[in-house]
C-alpha cells in the first residue's frame, strides 16, 4: 500500500510535467507579471528551493524507516515560506518555525559556501558534523545566515525576536555598533495554533506596545496558517479576525498564486524596513503528511479532507502558475524536480550513518563553559578613578562609606553604577527600575546617570522582559533585566529554561545570550505581601541546565558577586540568576538592634572576585576548634551566625560556611569542611521538598565519602502566608540552635 508521501510526490511530478504555458518561455530577466520584481530567474530559483525542501522531507522519512533519521516534522505544504527567505537578507535575524525548510533553502542561496542540503541531512540524522547543533537536535540554524536555532517551539521564540528588533533600534540611538546593518529587520515565523499561546500574544503585544511608545520594533511576524494544531483545527478566519484590526500592527495577508504571495511578502518586508514597525504577515499554507512521521492523520481527518489539502500542494500550484505565465515549461519543471530529488537522496545515502556525539562530555560541552582565569581578570576590571568620577561624581562609593558603612541595597546600587560605567554594552531594565529606582530603590539614580536608553522601564510582563534580554544579548549587549519578585519568574520561566539557557547548547556555543537576571526574592519580610512577595523556592531555577545562580548574604559580597556574575556572562556567554534576598536589602544589624554588624564598606572595583567554589568561612566566635559545620546562604547565613553565638554559650563550637553560589554548588568545599569539623548541619531557608539545596548538599557530601553525622533545618512545604503566620512555616534561629544541639549530642 502506497503512503501519502508517495502519493503526493507522484502527483506533484505529474502536475509539473503536465503544466501548460502560452508559448515560448520568457527570458530570465523578464518579470513573471508586469511590474513584479519576481523575474523568471528568481522564480526558477524559488521553485528549486521549494523542491529541495520537499525532497529533504522525503529523505528524512525514508531514513527514519531504516533507523537513520530521528526527526520527521516536515515543511511539506509550507514551502511558500521560501519567498520570505528570498526577499529578506542574511543580515536580517530570523527566528524560525520548524516548518521553515523553504525559507532556509532560499536564504542559504544568498550565502556563498553554505550547502543547506548537507547541513539539513546532518541535522536530522543527529550527526556530530551538523554545523549548527552538532547533533543535539534537529534545528534550523546558521551563523552565516543569522538564524539562531529554535527547538520545537510553541511560539516561545516570539518575545526574543521582539527583543532583537528592539535592540537594533536601541543600538542605533546609542551609536552602538552591531553585526547587522541599521536597517536590518527581524523575521519570526510560527504556526496558527501557536498564535494562541501566551508567549506569542506577549511577543506581539510587546511589539505593538513598543511602537505605541515610540521605541520601534522592526519585526515581521510570519503566521504560517495551515489550519491545524496537530489534530485540532483552527477556526476559519481566526488569525484574520484576531490580528488584522490591531492598532500599531500592520497586517498583510499572503495567499493565492506564487506571484501574489511574492507581492504580499515584498510589501510586508519593505513596510517593516521603512517604518521600523511590526508587521504580521499571514501566510496561508497547507500541512501535508500529518504533523510528523509518527502522526497517523487518518485517525482524525477524513480521506476527502486530506486529499483536498493535497490538491493545494504549493509547489504544484506554483509550477502551474509559472507555466501559465510563460515563466516555465512542464518538461523543464519535471526534469528539475527529478534532478533535485536525485541530488538530495544521493546526499542522504552518503551522509546517513555519520558519527553522533560520543559521550556525556561531548553532549554537555557548550552547556556551561567555564574559564575562571579570564572571568577573574574581567571581574576585577575597573575604570581609572578620574574616569569613574567623571561618570559617578566626585564622591566615589568607597569614599562615601568610610564614615558610614552601607546596606546590601546600597552596595548593589553602587556596583551597578560601576558596571554600567565600565561596560557601555550593559543595559538595566524591568518594571519600575527607571524613574522610581526600583521597588526597593536598588536601581535609584541609574537612569539619571546613564540615560533612558540604557536604564529603562518595561511593560509589566516578565516574558517580555526576558525576551528583550535575550534579543539584546544576541546583538552584543550585556543585559541586566530585573524580575521584581522571585514568584514572578514562574510567569515566564520557559524564557529562561527553554530559550535563554538552551541557546548555547543547541548552537554548540556559536550563539549565546549572556545576561545577569536580577531577582528580588526569598522570604522574611515580616509576612508582608504573602506568598508572591515571600517565595522561598528556587527548585525551578536549579532545574535549568547551565544556569548559574549567585545569592549574596551581605552587602560587600553582593557587590563582588555581581561583578563576578557580570564577568561570567561577558566571558562565557552564560545566563546568570542573581538572587537578591529582599529582607537583607536594608538590614543593618546582626545580633542586637543597633549593633550595625550587617553594614559593610563598599569594595572598590578591583577587589577579589567571588567565583563559584569560593565559599565564605566564619570560625566559631569562641575561637575554639570547630566540632560542627553549619552551611547556609542568604537569610540563613545571618541566622546561622546568630545561632553560632548562642551555641558557643552552650559549649558547641560551630563553623559557618556561606555557599554564595547555589548553582553550581561548592560541593567539594562543603565535603572538605564537613570532614574537618566532624558534623554537618545544612540550614536551608527554602521549602523542604525540592525547593532549596539541602538534599543536593547532603547527597554530594555523602558521595564524596564523608560519613560524619548530618542533619538539616528546612522550611515547611507550604506557601508563605500573610502576616505573623509566616513565621510558622519558615526557618528561624531557634530551630537552628535546637538542630545543632541535637546533632552535637549524637
Query: Which residues carry out catalysis?
Result: 533
3-state DSSP helix/strand/coil % of the chain, to nearest 5: 45, 15, 40
Q: Which three cell numbers stand for residue 272?
A: 517593516
Length of the chain (residues): 746
What is Dmax (Cα atoms) for the chain? 104
Beta carbons within 8 Å of 350's beta carbon, 6+ residues apart: none
CA pair distance 243, 37, nearest whole angstrom:
28
CA pair distance 126, 201, nearest whole angstrom:
33
CA pair distance 611, 660, nearest whole angstrom:
9
CA pair distance 309, 288, nearest whole angstrom:
7
Q: Which three cell numbers stand for residue 654?
A: 560551630
Q: Which three cell numbers stand for residue 426?
A: 550593559
CA pair distance 288, 286, nearest whole angstrom:
6
Q: Which three cell numbers stand for residue 148?
A: 539562531
- The residues pairing with 710 across neighbouring beta strands, listed in sequence order, are 680
Local structure of residue 25 (DSSP, 8 states)? P
Q: Which three cell numbers stand for residue 620?
A: 566559631
356-to-124, 552, 741 alpha-carbon distances in Å: 11, 41, 54
Q: Which three cell numbers stand for residue 286?
A: 497547507
* Cell 524507516 -> residue: 65
Beta carbons within 8 Å of 17's beta carbon, 6+ residues apart: 330, 331, 333, 334
* Cell 511608545 -> residue: 213
Q: Which three cell numbers stand for residue 136?
A: 543535539
Task: Give the DSSP per-residue string, 441-462.
Answer: STTTTHHHHH-TTTEEE--S-H
163-to-64, 151, 248, 446, 469 alpha-carbon distances in Å: 37, 18, 17, 21, 7
CA pair distance 502, 137, nearest whole angstrom:
11
Is the previous residue joined to 664 through a cis bond, with omega within 30 degrees of 0?
A: yes
Rg of the chain on CA atoms, in Å: 29
Q: Which three cell numbers stand for residue 649?
A: 554559650
- The residues pairing with 580 across neighbouring beta strands, listed in sequence order, are 520
CA pair distance 78, 432, nearest whole angstrom:
43
Amino acid at each position: 500500500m502506497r503512503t501519502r508521501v508517495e502519493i503526493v510526490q507522484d502527483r506533484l511530478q505529474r502536475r509539473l510535467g503536465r503544466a501548460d504555458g502560452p508559448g515560448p518561455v520568457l527570458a530570465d530577466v523578464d518579470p513573471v507579471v508586469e511590474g513584479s520584481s519576481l523575474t523568471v530567474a528568481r522564480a526558477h530559483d524559488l521553485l528549486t528551493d521549494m523542491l529541495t525542501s520537499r525532497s529533504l522531507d522525503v529523505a528524512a522519512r525514508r531514513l527514519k524507516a531504516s533507523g537513520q533519521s530521528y526527526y520527521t516534522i516536515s515543511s511539506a505544504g509550507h514551502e511558500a515560506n521560501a519567498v520570505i527567505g528570498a526577499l529578506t537578507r542574511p543580515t536580517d535575524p530570523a527566528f524560525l518555525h520548524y516548518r521553515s525548510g523553504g525559507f532556509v533553502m532560499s536564504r542559504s542561496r544568498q550565502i556563498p559556501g553554505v550547502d543547506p542540503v548537507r547541513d539539513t541531512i546532518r541535522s536530522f540524522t543527529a550527526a556530530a558534523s551538523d554545523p549548527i547543533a552538532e547533533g543535539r537536535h534537529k534545528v534550523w540554524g546558521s551563523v552565516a545566515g543569522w538564524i539562531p536555532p529554535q527547538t520545537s517551539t510553541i511560539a516561545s521564540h516570539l518575545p526574543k525576536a521582539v527583543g532583537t528588533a528592539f535592540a537594533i533600534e536601541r543600538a542605533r540611538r546609542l551609536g552602538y555598533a552591531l553585526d547587522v546593518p541599521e536597517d536590518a529587520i527581524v523575521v519570526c515565523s510560527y504556526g496558527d495554533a501557536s498564535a494562541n499561546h501566551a508567549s506569542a500574544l506577549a511577543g506581539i503585544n510587546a511589539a505593538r506596545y513598543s511602537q505605541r511608545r515610540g521605541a520601534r520594533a522592526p519585526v515581521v511576524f510570519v503566521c504560517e496558517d495551515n489550519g491545524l494544531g496537530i489534530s485540532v483545527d483552527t477556526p476559519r478566519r481566526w488569525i484574520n479576525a484576531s490580528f488584522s484590526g490591531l492598532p500599531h500592527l500592520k497586517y498583510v495577508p499572503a495567499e493565492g498564486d506564487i506571484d501574489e504571495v511574492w507581492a504580499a511578502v515584498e510589501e510586508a518586508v519593505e513596510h517593516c524596513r521603512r517604518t521600523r514597525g511590526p508587521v504580521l504577515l499571514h501566510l496561508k499554507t497547507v500541512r501535508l503528511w500529518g504533523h510528523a512521521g509518527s502522526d497517523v492523520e487518518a485517525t482524525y481527518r477524513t480521506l476527502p479532507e486530506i486529499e483536498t489539502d493535497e490538491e493545494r500542494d504549493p509547489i504544484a500550484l506554483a509550477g502551474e502558475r509559472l507555466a501559465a505565465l510563460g515563466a516555465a515549461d512542464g518538461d523543464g519543471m519535471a526534469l528539475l524536480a527529478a534532478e533535485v530529488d536525485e541530488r538530495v537522496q544521493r546526499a542522504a545515502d552518503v551522509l546517513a550513518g555519520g558519527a553522533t556525539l560520543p559521550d556525556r562530555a561531548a553532549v554537555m560541552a557548550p552547556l556551561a563553559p567555564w574559564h575562571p582565569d579570564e572571568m577573574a581578570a574581567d571581574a576585577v576590571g575597573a575604570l581609572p578613578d578620574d574616569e569613574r568620577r567623571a561618570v559617578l561624581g566626585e564622591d566615589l562609593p568607597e569614599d562615601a562609606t568610610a564614615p558610614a558603612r552601607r546596606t546590601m541595597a546600597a552596595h548593589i546600587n553602587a556596583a551597578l553604577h560601576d558596571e554600567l560605567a565600565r561596560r557601555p554594552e550593559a543595559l538595566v531594565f524591568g518594571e519600575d527600575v527607571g524613574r522610581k529606582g526600583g521597588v526597593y530603590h536598588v536601581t535609584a539614580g541609574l537612569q539619571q546617570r546613564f540615560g533612558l536608553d540604557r536604564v529603562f522601564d518595561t511593560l509589566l510582563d516578565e516574558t517580555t522582559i526576558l525576551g528583550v534580554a535575550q534579543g539584546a544579548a544576541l546583538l552584543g549587549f550585556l543585559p541586566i533585566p530585573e524580575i521584581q519578585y522571585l514568584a514572578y519568574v514562574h510567569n515566564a520561566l520557559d524564557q529562561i529554561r527553554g530559550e535563554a539557557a538552551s541557546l548555547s547548547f543547541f548552537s554548540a556555543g556559536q550563539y549565546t545570550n549572556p545576561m545577569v537576571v536580577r531577582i528580588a526574592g526569598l522570604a522574611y519580610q515580616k509576612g508582608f505581601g504573602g506568598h508572591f512577595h515571600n517565595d522561598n523556592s528556587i527548585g525551578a531555577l536549579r532545574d535549568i541546565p547551565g544556569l548559574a545562580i549567585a545569592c549574596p548574604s551581605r552587602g560587600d559580597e553582593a557587590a563582588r558577586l555581581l561583578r563576578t556574575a557580570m564577568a561570567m556572562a561577558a566571558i562565557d556567554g552564560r545566563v546568570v540568576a542573581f538572587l537578591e534576598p529582599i529582607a537583607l536589602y536594608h538590614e543593618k544589624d546582626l545580633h542586637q538592634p543597633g549593633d550595625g554588624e550587617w553594614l559593610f564598606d563598599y569594595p572598590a572595583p578591583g577587589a577579589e572576585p567571588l567565583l563559584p567554589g569560593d565559599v565564605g568561612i566564619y570560625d566559631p566566635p569562641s575561637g575554639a576548634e570547630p566540632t560542627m559545620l553549619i552551611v547556609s546562604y542568604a537569610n540563613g547565613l545571618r541566622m546561622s551566625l546568630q545561632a553560632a553565638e548562642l551555641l558557643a554559650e552552650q559549649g558547641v563550637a560551630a563553623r559557618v560556611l556561606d555557599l554564595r553560589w547555589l548553582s553550581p554548588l561548592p560541593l567539594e568545599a562543603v565535603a572538605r569542611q564537613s570532614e574537618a569539623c566532624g558534623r554537618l548541619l545544612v540550614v536551608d531557608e527554602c521549602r523542604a521538598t525540592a525547593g532549596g539545596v539541602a538534599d543536593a548538599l547532603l547527597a554530594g557530601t555523602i558521595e564524596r565519602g564523608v560519613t560524619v553525622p548530618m542533619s538539616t533545618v528546612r522550611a515547611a512545604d507550604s506557601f508563605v502566608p500573610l502576616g505573623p503566620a509566616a513565621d510558622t512555616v519558615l526557618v528561624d534561629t531557634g530551630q537552628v540552635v535546637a538542630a545543632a544541639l541535637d546533632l552535637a549530642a549524637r
